[in-house]
């Protein structure tokens, strides 16, 4: 999609760090930034699966020979690795302009009392503690130059909690309140904080939630036309390519046939 010449100008030469960039919304966001700026950006792509990042990097470089990409294997849940990762960025990539805090996951739909400790820890470590740690470190860079964009991926789950989602919903409401507190703290700066809250997006999300049970994952989207990763990527890039005086503070995004976590019309 084209956001027009003004958007391309506003994005030109930006250094954009995306977490969870190996698939889904992260990968789509990398592609969307590249397209919107016609390759005139520097992308720092991070995720646990480095091979996937390399594939994405090759693909983007083929389409946009001018694009600059730096890929790093990073698991944001290992919060102690975040500062060393930022410190080791090549000089050309060190002065980050945009942070897309995308890495996140849901594990299971178990009721309270039956939730595995490892699932609780995994969700909080990645969705909350990883996001907070990354933000704290990158914010130092943004404060020095009094500019920068932080996009936090929330969820409908952070607004409308549902049975079986207690931990995931708690992590996403934590993202919401962290984001809004941060925006208030930064009121006297030019640093922008965006929160994007998707509903059902057909990605690896449900495969991960149901731990590889693909049949169960497929059922989440059965009979619906869900959102796809590029639909959310467009909204992220639209936000980051607005004029400096504008912040799209929060965005709730459903597919046309969804109105709540389980309020979904299905053609079945």
Binding flags for ligand 8X3, 165-204, as an x/- string (CB under 6 A): x--------------------------------xxx----
**CB of 108 or CB of 261, closer to ligand 8X3:** 261
d(CA 139, CA 146): 10
Is 168 noted as a catalytic residue in this protein?
Answer: yes
The one catalytic residue in 31, 105, 172, 176 is 172
d(CA 264, CA 258): 4
φ and ψ of 6, to 5 deg: -65, -40
Q: Does 107 bind ligand 8X3 (CB under 6 A)?
A: no
Binding flags for ligand 8X3, 65-104, as an x/- string (CB under 6 A): ----------------------------------------
Q: Does 235 bind ligand 8X3 (CB under 6 A)?
A: no
d(CA 103, CA 130): 8
**Contact with ligand 8X3 (CB under 6 A) among 24, 130, 239, 261:** 261
Binding positions for ligand 8X3, 152-171, rule CB under 6 A:
155-157, 165
d(CA 27, CA 21): 5
Stretch (H or E) spanning 42 = strand 42-47
Q: How far is the CB of 150 from ligand 8X3 (least distance, A)?
A: 19
Is 172 noted as a catalytic residue in this protein?
Answer: yes
| Strands lying side by side in the sheet with 148-153 | 68-73, 42-47, 15-18, 98-101, 148-153, 191-198, 250-253
Two tokens at 34?
Answer: 């590249």
Please report, as ranges, the residues that interact with ligand 8X3 according to CB under 6 A.
155-157, 165, 198-200, 261
Active-site amino acid positions: 168, 172
């Amino acid at each position: 999609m084209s956001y027009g010449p003004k958007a391309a100008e506003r994005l030109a030469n930006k250094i954009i760090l995306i977490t969870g960039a190996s698939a889904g919304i992260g990968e789509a966001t990398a592609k969307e930034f590249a397209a919107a700026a016609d390759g005139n950006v520097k992308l720092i792509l991070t995720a646990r699966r480095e091979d996937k990042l390399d594939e994405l990097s090759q693909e983007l470089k083929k389409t946009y020979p001018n694009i600059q990409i730096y890929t790093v294997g990073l698991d944001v849940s290992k919060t102690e690795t975040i500062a060393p990762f930022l410190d080791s960025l090549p000089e050309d990539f060190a002065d980050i302009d945009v942070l897309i805090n995308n890495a996140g996951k849901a594990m299971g739909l178990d009721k309270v009392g039956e939730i595995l400790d490892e699932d609780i820890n995994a969700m909080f470590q990645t969705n909350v503690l990883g996001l907070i740690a990354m933000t704290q470190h990158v914010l130092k860079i943004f404060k020095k130059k009094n500019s920068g964009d932080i996009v936090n991926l929330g969820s409908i789950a952070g607004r409308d909690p549902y049975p079986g989602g207690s931990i995931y919903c708690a992590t996403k409401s934590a993202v919401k309140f962290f984001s809004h507190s941060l925006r208030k703290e930064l009121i006297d700066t030019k640093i922008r904080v965006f929160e994007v809250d998707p509903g059902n997006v057909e990605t690896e999300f449900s495969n991960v939630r149901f731990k590889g049970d693909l049949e169960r994952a497929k059922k989440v989207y059965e009979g619906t036309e869900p959102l796809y990763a590029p639909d959310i990527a467009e909204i992220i890039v639209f936000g980051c390519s607005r004029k400096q005086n504008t912040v799209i503070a929060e965005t709730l995004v459903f597919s046309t046939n969804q109105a709540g976590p389980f309020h979904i019309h299905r053609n079945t």
